[in-house]
Amino acid sequence: MSRPVFPSSPASLRTLARAVLLGATLLAALPPAARAQGNLEISTPAVAAVRASMQARFAQLEPLLASGAVGLTQDGRIELRDANLVPLAQRAGAGNLVAAENADRVRLYREIAVANGHPEWEADIRNTFAQRWIDKARPGWWVRTAQGGWAQR
């Protein structure tokens, strides 16, 4: 003879109802973006500002990537790999450009994590971007290998 799986006494039922209610409350407390499957929030003012800033900088960064003066790292940043490839007059500017870009990238990863209610996702987001930047690097650009050397795409 099989017994019913669910509790039948009123006290147990009340406990169960309370547990379900608590679960629903916890779910409702999560930010909407965390529940909506399929998309991360990337349109908050903070994220949009970094996106626009990086996009504006790319016009100056592109020649440095194309010449090999600047390369992509494994951790989602860029690096000045050969300053001799930059004309002397522009060398200081190139260093500033790389520093500004890296500051924006760090901000981008953090702001996306924050925008989605999970600051602890920052490292995962950085890793996802790091892989994607490298995948999408144009032919001729330089990329840090896992071994620490440079490889040309």
Partner 1 sequence: MRRTVLLPALVPLLLAGCVTINIYFPAAAAEKAAEKIIDEVWQLRPPVPAAPPGASQ
- Which residues contact partner 1 by CB under 8 A? 7, 9, 12, 15-16, 19, 22-23, 26-27, 30, 34-35, 37-40, 42, 48, 51-60, 100, 108, 112, 118, 121, 124-125, 128-129, 131-133, 136, 138
Distance from chain centroid for Cα 4? 49
Of 81 and 115, nearer to partner 1 (C-beta) is: 115
Residue 146 CB, nearest approach to partner 1 (Å): 19
Of 35 and 149, nearer to partner 1 (C-beta) is: 35
Residue 83 CB, nearest approach to partner 1 (Å): 19
Question: Looking at beta carbons, which pairs linking 38-44 to residues 24 or more positions away fall under 8 Å?
Answer: 40/112, 40/115, 40/116, 41/112, 41/115, 41/116, 42/112, 42/115, 44/111, 44/115
Residue 22 CB, nearest approach to partner 1 (Å): 7
Of 80 and 100, nearer to partner 1 (C-beta) is: 100
Residue 125 CB, nearest approach to partner 1 (Å): 6
Residue 27 CB, nearest approach to partner 1 (Å): 6
